[in-house]
Structure 1
Amino acid sequence: MKIPINPIHVSEDAAREFKVDIDMMKMKIHMYPPSIQAFADKFFTIPRWFRYHGPINPSLRGFFDFNRKAIRHDIVLLENQIPWSVVDAITRFRPVDLEAFVAFWKQYLQDRKFLGGEKPLVLDASFEPPHLLGLLRFYIVGKGNTKPPTQVKTNMISFSVSAIELAENGIKLKANEETTELIHMGVNKRGIFAELSMAPLSLDDERASFLINMAALELCTTSNFQEAEPEDSAVCSYLLLLSLLVHREEEVQDLRTKHLLQGGAGLINKDALTFFTRLQSLSLRGSNCYVRIMMEIEKYKVKRRMQIKVHAFFYKNKRTIFAIFSVVGVLVSILGTLMSLKKRSMV
């Protein structure tokens, strides 16, 4: 006897399986999402050291040290991850100072290191990492303490911004050198104007790869950035914002001048511009932190309309204004000299 299939039960069973799969999304091992394929080359997603070397004799410690940069690159690749339960089991046989290890990576994206007075890193016992990349991303991103901005009283809001637009509106770029955590970015009032602050970055090919892999993890594990917590899309927000600030090599240099890009080593301006330009092609979506910053900028523009117009006029015409003042200064100097000569002749 053939038992009839109830389509409602089939649908409910499929929905339950899908929900279980979604709930376990953060704990799964992922492959690179299609949007990251623009970076699918040796610098970002392809292993360097383990690609050419085999399981090594422990006595070859010097060889490991010599290749530490390539090894460091490989262990944070998204597709190289293994479940944290396996890593945890291994560390029971070979103990690792996990606090010191995470503390090193927490400052990895910056050249400036805190040498004294910094509180020792305390691991969050409530956080269950999916794998090593997920563990490091959790502490590098940090936890946000900002509230969503109040609604902007305007009929339109822009979700893109450039360095020139910020400058014209009186918003200065500022490196937040008091933190290494990427989530601490935002617009702060400074008198009648404002500043956009972000954690600084020392950019070389290793760190660029690390950022791409953390962003890829966010894209794989967060189905809807706008409904997720800000921490779930902080790396994507950070990269999206940086990528929109540079369109020319001069703007990359401007980020260095403002200390948002640190150090003289690493990617030169041309290569850094290429990296940021490629980021603009990624589908980083409506990242929560990024949307918040765009709303903060719009709120500032609405409340400071008159000041912004005056500032924008002087900013756009500063060369002409400077030239006029220079000419006036020369004329005043000449006039003063002539008056002085006239007084002498009369004496």
Structure 2
Amino acid sequence: MEACMEEQAAGAWVPCNFQLSNWAVEPAAWSSAAAFPAESEHIDQIYVTTSNWIPFSGGEQQLIEYYAAAQQHYPITEEEAHAESLEVVLHNMDELEIYKNDPIRLFQEAAQDLEAETNVMSMKMHRYPIIIRDLGDQYTVPRTVAIGPYHHARPELRKAEPVKHAAAYHCIREAGCSVLEMYGEVASAADEARRLRLYGKDVMEGFSNDDDFRHMMFFDACFLVQYMAWFIHLSDEAEAMDPTLRSFFCSNHSGVHHDVWLLENQLPWTVVQAVMKFKDVELEKFVGRWRDLLCDRKDVEERSFDDFDGSYHYQPPHLLALLRYYIVGTRRYPAADGDVGKLKSLSISVGAIELAEIGIALKADDDAEAPELVNIRLTKGILFAELSLAPLSLNYSRANRLVNMAAFELCTTPSFMDAQPEDSAVCSYLLLLSMLVNRVEDVHELRKQGVLQGGGGLTDKQALAFFTSLQSLPNGLCIADTMVQIESYRVHRKEWTKIYSFYYRNKNTILKVVSAIGALVGVLSTLVGILVKLKSFRAAP
């Protein structure tokens, strides 16, 4: 991090001199495996040239041409447009004839498309649901770099495209492999992603051929892997990374951190893994650095990540899903013990002050090595109870990450109540917090109890606005189980909660009365003492 600060102090980052329209590879280096030079030399054949790109046969061999063509517009002649429109009309007429003879076929194809879409629901690169998109661009639109096709055409993000070229160059050099080796693995994974239709049909129609999509996947994956490598060693000046690339990540760390968490800015994890087959990334350290992102307090010495399994147990669809998996954690506490059948009614919301009035105190869950969002529980004591949940130091960055993890759950879990608690943990966590705060005083109560932490970040009013904007999130098992436990506590300790509620609402008055009584007792004690002394004085001879 000190290196980053020094580089930022030296001046603004200047992009490397890789131009989109002329970054090229020697044709001889792509023609065949036999034509490759020695492994220690082949990567140096990637160079900057001022000559125009000369295409040659083989789709995979046109890797760099994509970026030149992507920035240009080639108008077609009127004759070509007429011929193309005529071809479309004839094609549509053929389709109409098919459907006329077999009308059910149209509906059958629609049903088959929907079934195919549902079968890969957990693997797809989803678009934001309306409930999240309505929160605003700060939660949904990248600021610095487009990763994947959804925001690839945004002009304000094009300045990062040359950096992707540089990232690919250094990624291949550091991996010590050939261009064709790494690109071949990425192209294979990209083809599978396209076959499974992991991205939306509308955006995929913007790619005229498979090569364009493969090229984008390759450069974006190399950029993401290089970012991950930098993030792991951001305080290690000795880490072997190109100074110019390191400077870009340091100067733009806030924007890149924001962008890699966006639901619509993801790459299929299989594409990222294709690059990591050659470029080693300490994934355990990368995930470990993000795992306790909700809190400001960090350990001085980095702890081991005992629960990390290298994602072998859980194969994520993308990076956001992988990080969310370890932040959510695994439920450590049992569900409510069947009390719901004994309840006549169940409250669907509860406030922080309301909980305090019936003797339920909020508590930050600090039992685990790192807070886990799924572990919300009510612990009953002799007189009082505690509702513990993961602490949160809320700022705009953490709000963005929570929103995007919630968006992932909304897209991949059709029914929260029929899924596992972990599948809707982020939504449940946010929904519970949105229930607890209905006014600024509620936010203050959360801060007083340690659930909201930190002196920086959002103010009480800003936190209130954020949480209340999420009140329409659907219920999940975590929140439903919590509401059952709260209602059960309220019913089974009805008389005690009434007494405590009276005390809580009138405690200031009660304390004043007790204080006044104490003062009066003190005065009376003093008077009695004086009278006793006077009596003893008179009785003396």
TM-score, normalised by the number of residues in structure 1: 0.91
Give, in angstroms, the shift of residue 104 of structure 1.
1.0
CA shift, 1:98, in A, is 0.8
Instruction: Tell me, in whole angstroms, the C-alpha distance in 2 between the residues paired with 1:119 and 1:100.
Output: 8
Output the CA distance in 2 between the equivalents of 1:46 and 1:18. Answer: 27
Which residue does the alignment assign to 1:22?
118
Q: Which AA in structure 2 matches 1:135?
A: L
**Is the Cα–Cα contact under 8 Å of residues 252 and 269 in structure 1 kept in the other structure?**
yes
Q: Contact 1:38/1:278 (CA < 8 Å) preserved in 2?
A: no
* Aligned 1:43-62 pairs, distance under 5 A: 44-50=139-145, 51-52=156-157, 53-55=159-161, 56=163, 57=166, 58-60=242-244, 61-62=246-247
Q: Could you say which structure has the greater relative contact order, defined with CA pairs below 8 angstroms and 6 or more residues apart?
A: 1
Calculate the aligned-residue CA RMSD, in Å: 2.3
The correspondence for 2:482, drawn from 290, 293, 304, is 293
How far, CA to CA, are the matches of 1:267 and 1:74 in structure 2? 20
Cα offset, 1:159, TM superposition: 1.2
Question: Match of 1:85, as an amino acid?
Answer: T
Shifted more, 84-93 versus 119-128: the winner is: 119-128
SS at match of 2:447: helix
1:304 aligns with 2:493: yes
Aligned to 1:97: 282
Question: 2: CA distance between counterparts of 1:147 and 1:31?
Answer: 34
1:83-116 CA distances to partner (integer Å, 9 max, x unpaired)?
1111111222322111111111111112233446
The structure with more radius of gyration:
2
Report if aligned partners of 2:125, 2:266 keep a CA contact under 8 Å in 1.
yes
User: 1:200-258 CA distances to partner (integer Å, 9 max, x unpaired)?
Assistant: 11211111100000001111111111111111100000001111112233332322222
SS of residue in 2 equivalent to 1:26: coil
Aligned to 2:75: none
Q: Is the 8 A contact 2:395 2:456 kept in 1?
A: yes
Name the counterpart of 1:216. 407
CA displacement at 1:10 relative to structure 2:
7.7
What TM-score does the superposition give when structure 2 sets the normalisation length? 0.60
| Separation of aligned partners in 1, 2:258 and 2:467 | 20
1:122 counterpart = 2:218:
no
% identical aligned pairs = 45
1:135 corresponds in structure 2 to: 322
Q: Aligned partners of 1:151 and 1:343: how far apart in 2?
A: 62
Structure 1 contact 240–279 (Cα < 8 Å) conserved: yes
Q: Secondary structure at the match of 1:197?
A: strand
Q: Once the 2 structures are TM-superposed, how far is the Cα of residue 17 of structure 1 from its aligned partner?
A: 4.5
Q: Which moved more, 1:198-207 or 1:255-264?
A: 255-264
Equivalent in 456, 462, 469 of residue 265 of structure 1: 456
Amino acid at match of 2:335: P
C-alpha separation in 1, matches of 2:258 and 2:439: 28
Alpha-carbon distance between aligned partners in 1 of 2:392 and 2:303, rounded to the nearest angstrom:
22
2:133 to 24, 37, 40: 37
User: Residue 164 of structure 1 is aligned with which of 349, 353, 359?
Assistant: 353
* Amino acid across the alignment from 2:388: S
The Cα shift of 1:279 comes to: 1.9
Between the two proteins, the alignment pairs up a number of residues equal to 343
The residue type equivalent to 1:173 in the other structure is: L
CA spacing shift, 1:12–1:194, aligned 2, 3 Å: farther
Whole-Å separation in 2 of the counterparts to 1:197 and 1:273: 20
CA displacement at 1:70 relative to structure 2: 1.5
In 2: Cα distance, 1:95 partner to 1:229 partner? 33
In the alignment, which of 235, 259, 263 is matched to residue 78 of structure 1? 263
Amino acid at match of 2:398: R
Residues 136, 59 of structure 1: alpha-carbon distance in 2 compared, 3 angstrom cutoff = same
Partner residue in 2 for 1:194 = 385
* Residue 320 of structure 1: how far off its partner (Å): 1.7
Q: Distance in 1 between matches of 2:280 and 2:416?
A: 37
